[in-house]
Amino acid sequence: MSEAEETKSVHRHRQSAPRNLVAAVITVSDTRTLETDTGGALLVELLEKAGHRIALRRLVPDDAQAIRARAGEALSHPEVQAVLLTGGTGVAPRDVTPEALAPLLERELPGFGELFRMLSFEEIGPAAMLSRAVAGMVGDKVVFALPGSRGALRTAMTRLILPELGHLVGEGGKRGPA
């Protein structure tokens, strides 16, 4: 396939992708409340501004079992198509979000973390390597584990997630040969 054909194919997939999705937002923090959770609020704001609906918004402590349980709750919600978690992706001992999600993810999306760290490097330099942001698919649903920093969230959402969210969900929902 030529480069021009690939570009047309990606464009076609984006055009046929769902436009208005239903999401869950989960903040991982031992210190925040829903009132002080500016990162989760930013995710909600950006998702709604893009035409998506929030079905669940939760706060969970930095505990792997609690994170996995809340993510499982969101994934089992019949309407939710995307689950976005913020917090717990750094290198501190309490940052366990990637480990908590690993058993749930059926297909990882390594390109997300790679691109996110590249974009972060452009903005903040070598400290970008401290991010362990990850994404993956669980059935036809997409899961993102993002940092707690509002700047990092804005970068991830505007440069990576929002432009491809419908495409990801649309492709993830396709069934292969039996």
Whether 8 is covered by a domain: the verdict is: no
Whether 89 is covered by a domain: the verdict is: yes
Tell me: pLDDT of 8 over 80. no
What phi, psi does 132 have (nearest 5°)?
Answer: -115, 35
Whether 69 is covered by a domain: the verdict is: yes
pLDDT tens digit sequence for 134-159: 999 999 999 999 999 999 999 999 99
Whether 150 is covered by a domain: the verdict is: yes
Percentage of the chain beyond pLDDT 90 is 85
Return mean pLDDT, the chain: 92
DSSP run (H or E) holding 135? strand 134-138
Question: How much is the pTM?
Answer: 0.89
The count of other CB atoms within 10 Å of the CB of residue 145 is: 29
Whether 162 is covered by a domain: the verdict is: yes
Domain range for 96: 19-172
Render the burial of 14-28: b for 16+ CB within 10 Å, e for the rest.
eeebeeebbbbbbbb
Tell me: pLDDT of 37 over 70. yes
Tell me: pLDDT of 13 over 60. no
- Rounded CA-CA distance 98/24 in Å is 17
pLDDT band at 125 (very low <50, low <70, confident <90, very high): very high
How many structural domains does the chain have?
1
Whether 13 is covered by a domain: the verdict is: no
Torsion of CA 104, 60, 76, 162, to 10 degrees: -80
pLDDT tens digit sequence for 45-83: 999 999 999 999 999 999 999 999 999 999 999 999 999
Residues 118-138: what's their mean pLDDT? 97
pLDDT band at 41 (very low <50, low <70, confident <90, very high): very high
Residue 144's beta-bridge partner residues? 84, 135
pLDDT at 10: 56
pLDDT at 19: 79
pLDDT at 144: 99
Whether 1 is covered by a domain: the verdict is: no
Whether 113 is covered by a domain: the verdict is: yes
- Rounded CA-CA distance 161/164 in Å is 5
Q: Which residue has the higher pLDDT, 8 or 36?
A: 36
CATH classification of the domain holding 49: 3.40.980.10
